Structure 1
Amino acid sequence: MEPIFFVHITDIHLSKPGKQPLFGLTMSDKLHRVFTYIGKLETKPAFVVISGDLTHDGDLEDYRFLRSFLQEEERALGVPIHVALGNHDTREPFREGYLEEEPSDASYYYSFRNAGLRVVVLNTQVPGTHDGRLDAEQLDWLKQELAEPAPVGTILVHHHPVVLTPTAMMDSHLLQNPQDLAAAIEGSDVIGLLSGHIHFHNVGALGGVPCASADGVAFGLDPIAEGVMRMLDRSGFNFVLVKNGQMIVQPMTMPGEQRLLVEYDLKKLQAAHS
């Protein structure tokens, strides 16, 4: 079977035009630069998948703008763009504004196939919080989905990562029940997991299965800053290759100076709110 190449993007934090830009940055411009870069690649990707935090505020008009923006980028690239939800996303406006369905708080997860590869897009949101968790209903669905192997394997895409990070602070941003996910995929054809949320590249394994988080498109975080959240003007993503039954990931960073946007001292913030 021929190798399958695709692009994994995450944390785009789009807002409709006219809103006060986050950190003074127009996130749609940053995302467009990434898509322009992808469009110039010698090898055309089979698809693009975005693993959550599609918008920053989760408003209805943000999702309507996101829909028209991604439709335009799809036409330019000539490949499909698939999306997952993150902690900054809200389900009812997403379903109404992006999917053009009746508003609903139903969890959004699904699977799709490309040339023998199955991609399962999960929803790790805990509504009303920034936490990540997979509920029992979704885990049961996942087990049923994986009951029949796909020809070249399965990759899971979700927002909250499962791999430990360089700092205790960022470890608090991980999926809260990785053991349940590990049990659900044990003995299955899952060859890799892709996630976002932490805004830097991070690679490890869950029960022997490779896991890769991608840098954010909207901004990056300093992965080794302890006690502070140091946000940087940086955009990254992952090239992903499925070859010989393996998921191979190449972390990519767009050129730029990576200037400091803002730094939050978490102890000071906690003291101010105590």
Structure 2
Amino acid sequence: MNIVHISDIHFRKNYEQSSAGYKGMLAKMQSPLVPLEKCLEEIQSKQQIDLLIISGDLTDDGEAEDYRFLKQVIQNIIGDIKVIVTLGNHDIKNNFREGWLNESPSEKPYNIIETFKEFHIISFDSAVYENSNGYVSESQLKWLDQALESKQDKPVILVTHHHLIEHQSSIPNLPESQLILDKLQNKNILCILNGHTHHAYKTKIENIPYYTVVGMSFVGEDIGQQQIQFEEKYGYNIYQIKNSQIKDVEHKIVSTGRQLKIVDMNQ
């Protein structure tokens, strides 16, 4: 089974026309649909996509129509292939539920469990809108605990938006990271997948493979004194699952070489 993992699309049909700060950077960026379409079509030309995982920040403070439009673009490329998403700090849950899920608006956490022949996927919502670092409540931790306990007949892929390793990035990890990692001990975990940092990263945590995928829009480099240099960079990961194990991982990172903006995060 080939699983394609992307993240941090930050899509809007129309970005605010600003020249200042982070919004000014977004206004200069190419539409993330350009690399998104390029990546998905490139993958399809080489191998079959069996499952697509998007680990958050589908839009950048998007409206319901942004989610609706993005979903249709993806379906036009990959057809009826299953898509599993988790939400990021730039996703507005009300608008996601209305536009992507065609449900009534709701701010409740978006947690899902999907079962496949060789594994389960637990997509766990660590996101709070406009809280970059994320937050996981006691009730959310209880939900995760129960989900893990109930799905130990097969290996579990855990998907979050926020990264769980403290020194992985200059961006802070999820404050409740250790509480989540503690719950994974002695569980049948196939791997952990996330995004948020926009930088690719891989390691193992207590022998559990851990992957952060590069963003599908831009990356920010900390150049000191809270100055972030943004540039266009994008890519994806592909995980090949055989006999309930990860047999192969492909990483693709593309830099356009285009510098977008230096943003003073103190302002």
TM-score band, normalised by shorter chain: 0.7 to 0.9
Give per-residue Cα distances to partners, 1:95-139, cap 9 Å, x unaligned. 111111111111101011222211111111123321212222222
CA–CA distance in structure 2, aligned partners of residues 203 and 63 of structure 1: 29
Residue of structure 2 equivalent to 1:123: 125
Residue of structure 1 equivalent to 2:32: 27
CA–CA distance in structure 2, aligned partners of residues 239 and 220 of structure 1: 20
Cα separation, partners in 2 of 1:190 and 1:225, compared to 1, 3 Å: farther
Mapped contact 1:163–1:205 kept (Cα < 8 A): no
Show the 5 A alignment for 1:111-190.
111-150=113-152, 152-165=154-167, 169-170=170-171, 172=172, 174-190=173-189
Size of the aligned set, in residue pairs, is 257
Mapped contact 2:15–2:27 kept (Cα < 8 A): no
Residue of structure 2 equivalent to 1:9: 6
Q: Which amino acid aligns with 1:16?
A: K
Give per-residue Cα distances to partners, 1:130-185, cap 9 Å, x unaligned. 12122222222222222244555111111100124465x32x2x111111101221
CA–CA distance in structure 2, aligned partners of residues 236 and 257 of structure 1: 11
> Could you tell which deviates more after superposition, 143-152 or 64-73?
143-152
Residue of structure 2 equivalent to 1:240: 239
TM normalised by structure 2 equals 0.86
CA–CA distance in structure 1, aligned partners of residues 86 and 44 of structure 2: 22
CA–CA distance in structure 2, aligned partners of residues 48 and 66 of structure 1: 14
Cα separation, partners in 2 of 1:127 and 1:88, compared to 1, 3 Å: closer
CA–CA distance in structure 1, aligned partners of residues 27 and 201 of structure 2: 24
Query: What secondary structure is seen at the aligned counterpart in 1 of 2:43?
Result: helix
Residue of structure 2 equivalent to 1:262: 261
CA–CA distance in structure 1, aligned partners of residues 85 and 236 of structure 2: 14
Give per-residue Cα distances to partners, 1:38-88, cap 9 Å, x unaligned. 2112x312201000000012212212212322222331xx52222111010
Cα separation, partners in 2 of 1:38 and 1:22, compared to 1, 3 Å: farther
Q: Which amino acid aligns with 2:186?
A: G
Greater per-residue strand proportion: 2
Q: What is the root-mean-square deviation of aligned Cα atoms in Å?
A: 2.3
CA–CA distance in structure 2, aligned partners of residues 33 and 85 of structure 1: 23
Given candidates 60, 64, 67, the residue that maps to 1:63 is 67
Note if 1:37 corresponds to 2:36.
no
C-alpha displacement at 1:18, in angstroms? Answer: 7.8
Residue of structure 2 equivalent to 1:214: 213
Query: What secondary structure is seen at the aligned counterpart in 2 of 1:200?
Result: coil
Gap regions ≥5 residues in structure 1 = none
Mapped contact 1:84–1:121 kept (Cα < 8 A): yes
Gap regions ≥5 residues in structure 2 = 18-25
C-alpha displacement at 1:195, in angstroms? Answer: 0.5
C-alpha displacement at 1:207, in angstroms? Answer: 3.7
Give per-residue Cα distances to partners, 1:184-220, cap 9 Å, x unaligned. 2111111211110111101233344221111001112
Q: Which amino acid aligns with 2:78?
A: E
TM normalised by structure 1 equals 0.84
C-alpha displacement at 1:264, in angstroms? Answer: 2.3
Cα separation, partners in 2 of 1:80 and 1:22, compared to 1, 3 Å: farther
Q: Which amino acid aligns with 1:98?
A: W
CA–CA distance in structure 1, aligned partners of residues 50 and 41 of structure 2: 16
Mapped contact 1:84–1:158 kept (Cα < 8 A): yes
C-alpha displacement at 1:19, in angstroms? Answer: 6.4
C-alpha displacement at 1:229, in angstroms? Answer: 1.9
Identity of aligned residues (%): 28
CA–CA distance in structure 2, aligned partners of residues 96 and 251 of structure 1: 33
Q: Which amino acid aligns with 2:9?
A: I
Residue of structure 2 equivalent to 1:84: 86
Q: Which amino acid aligns with 1:22?
A: A
Give per-residue Cα distances to partners, 1:219-274, cap 9 Å, x unaligned. 1234x7444322221111111123455445332113x4332212224xxx42xx4x
Cα separation, partners in 2 of 1:166 and 1:122, compared to 1, 3 Å: closer
Q: Which amino acid aligns with 2:252?
A: M
C-alpha displacement at 1:9, in angstroms? Answer: 0.3
